[in-house]
Structures are given as structure tokens and as C-alpha cells.
């Protein structure tokens, strides 16, 4: 099912550039295996840094770097464990994640 090609011989030069800044920024974050894994794991609920580091076979400080980027863009936030403040838990900001997905959907959908 292929759309018909335009019948013009001259290319249409009035095509305008779409605004994909938000989608590209979100996709850029998702483009890294570690960050994509983090967001996928946090889909099922909060996890602490050491849990995710162990699951991914990455060092804790490396994961902390990636979490910082996700934190700066608002996709995740850090929360303290009530009974054990030593572990740093993270959870997704579902509103921000939904916005990111919507931006990507506008490009691909």
C-alpha cells in the first residue's frame, strides 16, 4: 500500500522543517542501552542503584552518572527508603515519561 508520488516534476521547496526537538532529546536519552534498561526496569516500580547496577553488570558510579542525566531531564526522581536511608531508590516520573513517549509518537506514529 504505497502512497502515490507527487505528479510534479519540480521538487516542492515549500516543505517546512518539523519541530522534533523534544522527540530527539527524549530519543537521545533512550538511545543508550543502560538508560533504556533503567527506564524499563523502573516501569515495574522503584529500584535502588545497587539493584540496577548488579542486574546490568555495570559499576555503581557509572549507573549514577546515567541516573543523573535522567534526573536532570525529569524522567526519574530519587526517593529515600524509609527504613533504610542508605539505599537510594529511584522511580519514574510518569508524567514526564508520557510526554516523552508522546513526542516520539508524533514523529513515528
Does position 23 interact with DNA (CB under 7 A)? The reply is no
Position among 88, 93, 96, 99 found at the interface with DNA (CB under 7 A):
88
75 contacts 69 by C-beta, under 8 angstroms:
no
What does the alpha-carbon distance between residue 84 and residue 96 come to, in Å, rounded to a whole number?
A: 28
Site string for a copy of itself, 45-84 (x = CB under 8 A): xxxx-xxx-xxxx---------------------x-xxxx
Which residues make beta-bridge pairs with 100?
A: none
Which residues make beta-bridge pairs with 80?
A: 88
Site string for a copy of itself, 5-44 (x = CB under 8 A): xxx-x-xxx-xxxx-xx-xx--xxxxxxx--xx-xxx-x-
- CA 75-100-31 angle, to 5 degrees, is 80
Does position 100 interact with a copy of itself (CB under 8 A)? The reply is yes
- Coil, helix or strand for 76? strand
> Which range of residues in 16-24, 30-38, 94-102 is near DNA by CB under 7 A?
30-38
Amino acid at each position: 500500500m504505497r502512497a502515490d508520488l507527487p505528479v510534479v516534476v519540480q521538487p516542492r521547496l515549500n516543505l517546512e522543517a518539523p519541530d522534533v526537538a523534544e522527540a530527539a532529546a527524549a530519543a537521545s536519552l533512550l538511545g543508550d542501552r543502560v538508560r533504556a534498561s533503567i527506564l524499563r526496569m523502573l516501569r515495574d516500580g522503584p529500584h535502588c542503584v545497587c539493584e540496577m547496577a548488579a542486574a546490568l553488570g555495570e559499576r555503581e558510579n557509572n549507573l549514577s552518572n546515567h541516573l543523573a542525566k535522567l534526573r536532570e531531564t525529569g524522567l526519574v526522581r530519587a526517593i529515600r527508603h524509609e527504613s533504610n536511608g542508605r539505599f537510594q531508590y529511584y522511580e519514574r516520573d510518569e508524567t514526564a515519561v508520557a510526554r516523552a513517549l508522546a513526542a516520539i509518537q508524533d514523529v513515528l506514529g
